Structure formats: C-alpha cells, structure tokens
Amino acid sequence: MRARTRTTRRVVVLAAVASLGAGLLAGCADDGKSSASDDSSSGSGKGQTTITLGLFGTFGFKEAGLYTEYEKLHPNIKISENVTEKNENYYPALVNHLTTNSGLMDVQAIEVGNIAEVVATLANKFEDVSKISGVDKSNWLDWKWSQATTKDGATIGLGTDVGPMALCYRKDLFQAAGLPTDREKVGALWAGDWNKFITAGEQYKKKAKAGTFFMDSPGGLLNAILSSEKEKFYDSSGKIIYKTNPAVKDAFNLTAKAAEEGLVQAQPQFAPSWNTTIAQSKFATIACPPWMLGTIKGNAKAEDAGKWDVAVAPKSGNWGGSFLGVPKSGKHVKEAEELVKWLTAPEQQAKLFKVQGNFPSAPSTYTLPEVTGAKNEMTGDSPIGTVFSEAAKSAPVQVIGPKDQIIQQGLNDNGVILVTKGKSAAEAWDTATKTIDNNLDK
Amino acid sequence: MATRHDTAAPPAKEGGAAPGRPPAAAADAEQLRRARLSRRWQRDKRWSPYAFVSPFFLLFVAFGLFPLLYTGWASLHQVELTSPTDMTWVGMRNYTRIFGDDFFWNAAKNTLTIGIISTVPQLMMAMGLAHILNYKLRASTFYRVAMLAPYATSIAAASLVFVLLFGRDYGMINWALHFGGIDAVDWQNDKWPSQIAVSTIVIWRWTGYNALIYLAAMQAIPQDLYESAALDGASRWKQFLHVTLPSLRPTILFTVVVSTIGASQVFGEPLLFDANKGASGGAEHQFQTLGLYLYEQGWVNQHLGRASAIAWTMFLILIVVGIVNYVISRRLRASS
C-alpha cells in the first residue's frame, strides 16, 4: 500500500514539475508570435483573415465606420484594432516590438514626431508601401510623402491626416479688448510675422477682460512658431543645429518675451488645469490645427458655441498627423497593404474629416464639398475647411529629425515654461539646452 | 504538507494483475523490492525538495538574474533602444560620466530628500495611529481595514487625484490655503512644494500599512508590563515611552529598512505628478528621482547603455544602504 502510493506521488510530482516547466517554456516561446495573428486559423472557420491594427489616441477609423465598410467590400477580411491611448506609451513599445520582431500588429501607426527616427533607424523593418500597386504618390501632399521616405527612396508609411495650423480666437474677448473680430481682419493683423502677433497681444493686454490671457501657453506659442520654420532642429544634411539656428533662438526669445509680459498663461497644454481654463473662457487665442477644435469643443462650455473663430496664422505650419506602416514580420503583409492603401485613399480621408475632423493629407480632397463645406459647432459658420486647406498647402516642407520630440520637449518643458515663473530668458535657455544635450548624448 | 497526503491517496491501479501471489519465493523478492524502494525513497527525499523549489529559481534566473547580468553587460556599451543588438564597447565610460553628471546627482539628492520627508513623518504617524488603534475601540476592524485602503489603491489613480488637489489654479489645497491668507503655492514648479507634494502621496499610501505592522507588534506586548508600569505610577505617555517603544524596536527597524528601500525606488508618484513633464521630473528636474532618471534615459531618450549603468549604480548604492542598515541594526540589537 505505502509503496504503491509513493509511486503515485512520484508520478504526480513529476507531472507537476513537468507541467510547470512546460508552462514556463511555453510562456517564453509564445512570445515569439503575435497572439492576434492566430485568429486566421482559429477564426470563424470560413477562411477569414483578421487584420490587426496597432494605433494610438483616436484615429477614428472605427468611429467613421471605415472598418465595417471595408469588411463589406472584402468578406474574407476581419479588422481588429488595438489602441494605446497615449503615443508616449505606444511608441516605446512599438520600437521594442520592431527591434525584437515580435508582438507586432499587421499595421502599425507612426506619429509624425517619431517618423524621422523610424525612417532613420528602423526603415528596414517595414514594407516599402510605395511599391503597393495602385498607390499614387501624387495623392499626398509632397512634404507628407517625403517625411516617411528614406534616402534610398523607400516609403515606410502612408500618410493619414495632417495638422495645418491656424489660430483659434475668441471673438467676444477680442471685441472687449478693442481688437477686430472679423477673421480676415484678424488674419491681417499679424499676417506674415510672429512679432506682429506679439504686438497684437500687447494691444490685447491693455484693454483685456480681467483674468484673461492673450494666448494659452508658452509651449503652444513656441510650437506654433517653430512649426512654421523650414529648418528648426536639424539641417537638411541631418546635423543637429538647434542651438545655433537663429530661427530657434528667435522663436525661443519671442516666446520668452510673451511670457515675461504675461501674454501667455503658465499652463502646460493638455494639463487638467489647462482644460479648466478653456472652460472658464480665459484664453483669447490658441494655436489651432483642426484636431484642436475637438479639444476645445471637449472642454468649453456649451454656451461658448459660436464664440470662437479661426483665422490664418502669421505663418503656416503643421502640427500633428500620422502614418500607417506595414511591418515586414506581420502575418498578413499583402492583406495589410491593401487595407492601408484603402484607409489612406483620398475618399476615406475625406470621410474621416467629415466625421472626426482629422484633416486630410490628400490635397485632391480640399475641393470636395466634405472639406469646403465643413463647419464646426464652436466656430459657428466659419469655413474651417478653406482656412485649413490654405494652411496645409502653404505649410513649409519642414526638415524633421529623429530627436525632434526630445529637443522640442526640452525647449518647452524645461525652457520657456520657466520664464512664466520669473526666470530670465537666458537662464531658461541654459536649463533647456543643458537638459537637451544630456538627453541627446548617447 | 504534500508528503502527508499519501495516506489519503487512492491505491494505484493494480487491476487484478496478481490475484494470488506465491507465498514461497516471496521473502527474497520482497527484500530486493524493499532495497530498490529504499533507494528510490532516498533519491526522492534528496531531490524532490529541489523540484518543489525550482519554479521560484527558474523564474528568478529568467526574470531576475539574467536581466541583472545583461544590464551589467549593456552598461559597458553604447547601445540604443532602436537597435539593441547593435552594441559598441565603451568600457567604463557610462560609469565614469555619472560622476560628472549633474542630473544624476540632482536625482540622487531628490531621492534622498523625498525619502526623508516621506519616511520620517510616515513612520511617526503610523506609530501614533497604531497606538490609538491599540485602545479598545468600537468598530476597530473597520478602522484597520480603512488604514489599509490607501495601500490597496493603485498609485496611478491616487496620484491623479493628488495632482488635482495640488493644482495651482484650481486645486483644493490652494483653495483652502487661500482662506488661511496664504498665496497660491505652485506645487508643481517650485522645488520644496513639489517634493512635499510627492512625499504626501507616498505618505498617504504607506502610513496605514506601517500602522498595521506596528499594531500587530503592539498587541504582542504582554499586558502585565503595562499593569506593573501603571502600578508604579507611570502615565500613558510614560508607558508608551518606556514600555511600548523599547518592545517595538525590532519592528521599527524592520519598517525603517523596508521604507528606506521603498523610498530609494520612488517612481510612480513623481512620474505621474506632472504628467506633462513626465520623466524629467519638473521643469528644473526638481522632483526627478533616480528611478525617474533611469526611466528617462532608457525609455524616453532610448540610451540603453547609460540607463543600464545608472541601474547598476543604483543597485550598488542600495547595497551600501543595506549594509549600513544591517550594521546599525546589529549594534542596536547588541545594545538592547
């Protein structure tokens, strides 16, 4: 009896150890393949292929009904998306997955702030989407296309939206301060020169409603000025020039001046208190790519509808926009390429703009009624489509570099924000450059 | 316990294979069988424990030791997150530059100050709370569970609430201060206010946890000690000073060690305290801890080699802190 049970025990022990070990090994081995890609075999059994998209924030494909439409056109395809809320979390994971060739979706989105780094260091992990049959380079804005293209001419992602920048302003606050409220006259007030914008701010401040600020934040202003420059942090040969580029220093000093004079509020953008300040109607202007209208709408009080308007910025720039790339190690490369081509085609971009406000990167849509007739609740009857397409067409082909984000973040968060605390522009510049240099040093 | 289950285990199937065993040659066979079984038993006794503990060690090797060694290896290279296989040997450069790295020492200093302003009040408050809870109270279980609630809350959720409380323009704390006639404090951008605010989150989260540890230790103190002290005319306060505190000494040491280790790894609270600045720990790095700096170098700036060197330096600093703790606790134990 005892002997027998002992043997049983041994078997049980061995089985337990073996299964634990197997579980461990399996745990490691499983990592190699993306779990989502198994769906094709285990799916509904009708030979359906599931295409997975790795996205961040709100791309709006699903919300605009594009997946359903595509699935109707291609009954053998199912689409599922995997959304990370913030690009700050999405991007490091993407880099990690790309370098280890594991855990990748069939389609991966790339933010414009990261595109240069991906193009420079990880381009060989992506399919060349320019080779997909039916993809026509001329469908996209030139600069949008070239941002995702390597020196050897491979294009690693197709552009989705762009963020042509205009200026949103409060008509009621402008009127109270004795500034013009008509969008043509407001645009003329500062046309061509950011210095004029600051002058307008000084005028505003003289008669402004108490407690209000001419602009929302130093980061927003600096970003707006810099994005209208052709070269900012890198020159066209790829050298880092942010410290010596007079355009950067001028933008920094101009922003610091605005902060010193109290023209901008000290809130960092998108912080909860910044949101609250919009709700309290205390910002007279905000640098405004089309998607910012959604942010304003999300934060402003309902009775503020129609009090905002959109005027052209002193110089046009671009803020935001993404790309869809197809990783080579994906399970369904061909199907993914077809999907990406379809999602970024002009018709779909126009639909997205209509529903979501993501501004198309396909210039042929700028004459479509979806774009020209676009209206927004917060800005009343302003023809936002025309204003933004003008900005999109006149935005410079900007040189973007791999570490643009780190540099810009240093200038904003460790630089100009300090001026609102009473530091001098020179001190702020020192802190910013010291931080940036430390962060760039490998 | 597992070894005792055998008596209850069902007999293995022997399915009528040997209905009538011949009793004659049984003795020899039986002896052989016993010897064999005994050998198995020996082997079983010797090796089974290793099998039982192996899962931990396998996991430790895979997720503890290997990363530790790999980090050490990476710290001797220049390597970027965008291509982790592309390593350039740089020897000790990543370490030597730490000596001249203002940001590292700033982070080390912040870690120390945040550690002190969070640990000291935290443990003192925990002691006071434990002392109060040690009295006979109505609904004492409720209070004990309530103590532990912050500990069970996620750091992320707690930090987000604290960020709102500490807001400069619309925060509740500044609103309350305003009634006390104090001007708005910029909790995120000024050095000491921001460190105090971060420490508050840590204190809020861990005080109850430590209080419960103290409470458990207090309840183990024999009641007669208090009785005789009372007979000698010692007040409540004197009793606390001369009976409770000395009896709690080992527990206090334990909490100090655990809190020190915790304080040197503070990460989530400062990371979430200013979501816009993220890992840089404020506009002037005023509340950037070592954990944050490591994260910033590795995951934001993608310098894996530098981050690995920082990780190892932190590890060495922790070992030193551990040794100091050990020496002090030995001294104290010897003196008591």
Taking residues A387-412, report their average pLDDT: 89
Give the pLDDT confidence of A20-66 residue by residue, as tens digits.
555 444 444 444 334 444 444 444 445 689 999 999 988 889 988 99
Give the pLDDT confidence of B274-320 residue by residue, as tens digits.
877 778 888 899 999 999 999 999 988 889 999 999 999 999 988 89
* pLDDT at A6 > cutoff 60: no
Q: Across-strand partners of A52?
A: A80
* pLDDT at residue A18, rounded to an integer: 57
- How far does the CA of residue A273 sit from the closest CA of chain B (Å)? 7
Q: Across-strand partners of A234?
A: A240
The DSSP secondary-structure symbol of B197 reads: H
Asked whether the beta carbons of residue A271 and residue B169 sit closer than 8 angstroms, the reply is no
- Of all residues in chain A, the one with the smallest CA distance to B283 is A414
Residues of chain B in contact with residue A8, where contact means CB-CB under 8 angstroms, are: 6, 9-10, 12
CA–CA gap between residue A323 and residue A150 (Å, rounded): 14
Lowest mean pLDDT among B10-19, B166-175, B187-196: B10-19
* pLDDT at residue A293, rounded to an integer: 87
* pLDDT at residue A30, rounded to an integer: 41
Confidence of residue A15 (pLDDT cuts 50, 70, 90): low
* pLDDT at residue B286, rounded to an integer: 92
The end-to-end CA distance of chain B, in Å, is 38
* Length, in residues, of chain B: 336
What distance lies between CA A327 and its chain's CA centroid?
20
* pLDDT at B18 > cutoff 90: no
* pLDDT at residue A7, rounded to an integer: 52
- How far does the CA of residue B264 sit from the closest CA of chain A (Å)? 23
Asked whether the beta carbons of residue B283 and residue A271 sit closer than 8 angstroms, the reply is no
Asked whether the beta carbons of residue A413 and residue B12 sit closer than 8 angstroms, the reply is no
* pLDDT at residue B32, rounded to an integer: 87
Average pLDDT of chain B?
A: 86
* pLDDT at residue A10, rounded to an integer: 59
* pLDDT at A221 > cutoff 90: yes
Chains A–B, number of C-beta pairs less than 8 Å apart: 121
Say yes or no: B137 contacts chain A, CB-CB below 8 A: no
Higher pLDDT, A44 or A134: A134
Kind and range of the H or E element at A144?
Answer: helix A142-147
Q: Exposed/middle/buried for A437, CB within 10 Å: 0-12, 13-18, 19+?
A: middle
* pLDDT at residue B312, rounded to an integer: 94
Give the pLDDT confidence of A408-439 residue by residue, as tens digits.
989 998 999 999 888 999 999 999 999 999 99
- How far does the CA of residue A89 sit from the closest CA of chain B (Å)? 10
Residues of chain B in contact with residue A414, where contact means CB-CB under 8 angstroms, are: 277, 280, 283-285
* pLDDT at A245 > cutoff 80: yes
* pLDDT at residue A51, rounded to an integer: 94
Higher pLDDT, B10 or A203: A203
Interface predicted TM-score of the whole assembly (ipTM), two decimals = 0.78
* pLDDT at B76 > cutoff 80: yes
- Of all residues in chain B, the one with the smallest CA distance to A420 is B189
- Cα B265 to Cα A34, A241, A281, distances in angstroms: 33, 37, 41
* pLDDT at residue A21, rounded to an integer: 53
* pLDDT at B9 > cutoff 70: no
Give the pLDDT confidence of A140-170 residue by residue, as tens digits.
988 899 899 998 999 999 999 999 999 999 9
Taking residues A334-360, report their average pLDDT: 91
Give the pLDDT confidence of B239-256 residue by residue, as tens digits.
888 888 889 988 998 898
- How far does the CA of residue B147 sit from the closest CA of chain A (Å)? 29
Listed residue (B58, B47, B113) closest to B290, CA to CA: B113
Helix, strand, coil content of chain B in percent (nearest 5)? 75, 0, 25
Q: Answer yes or no: pTM beyond 0.90.
A: no
- Of all residues in chain A, the one with the smallest CA distance to B93 is A442
- Of all residues in chain A, the one with the smallest CA distance to B190 is A421
Give the pLDDT confidence of B163-189 residue by residue, as tens digits.
889 988 888 888 988 888 888 888 888
* pLDDT at B53 > cutoff 50: yes
Contacts by residues B125-129 (CB-CB < 8 Å, ≥ 24 positions apart): B125/B203, B125/B207, B125/B211, B126/B207, B126/B208, B126/B209, B126/B210, B126/B211, B126/B213, B126/B214, B126/B255, B127/B211, B127/B214, B127/B248, B129/B207, B129/B208, B129/B211, B129/B214
* pLDDT at B17 > cutoff 90: no
Asked whether the beta carbons of residue A99 and residue B301 sit closer than 8 angstroms, the reply is no
Out of A100, A270, A441, whose CB is closest to B276? A270
- Of all residues in chain B, the one with the smallest CA distance to A95 is B82
Confidence of residue A309 (pLDDT cuts 50, 70, 90): very high
For A136, residues 6+ apart whose C-beta sits below 8 A from its C-beta are: none
Average pLDDT of chain A?
A: 86
- How far does the CA of residue A422 sit from the closest CA of chain B (Å)? 11
The DSSP secondary-structure symbol of A399 reads: B
- How far does the CA of residue B8 sit from the closest CA of chain A (Å)? 9
Give the pLDDT confidence of A92-123 residue by residue, as tens digits.
889 989 988 888 999 999 999 899 999 998 99
Out of B9, B82, B189, whose CB is closest to A5? B9
* pLDDT at B197 > cutoff 90: yes
Residues of chain A in contact with residue B48, where contact means CB-CB under 8 angstroms, are: 13
> For testing the chain A interface, which of B31, B47, B82, B164 should be mutated: the one with the most A CBs within 10 Å?
B82
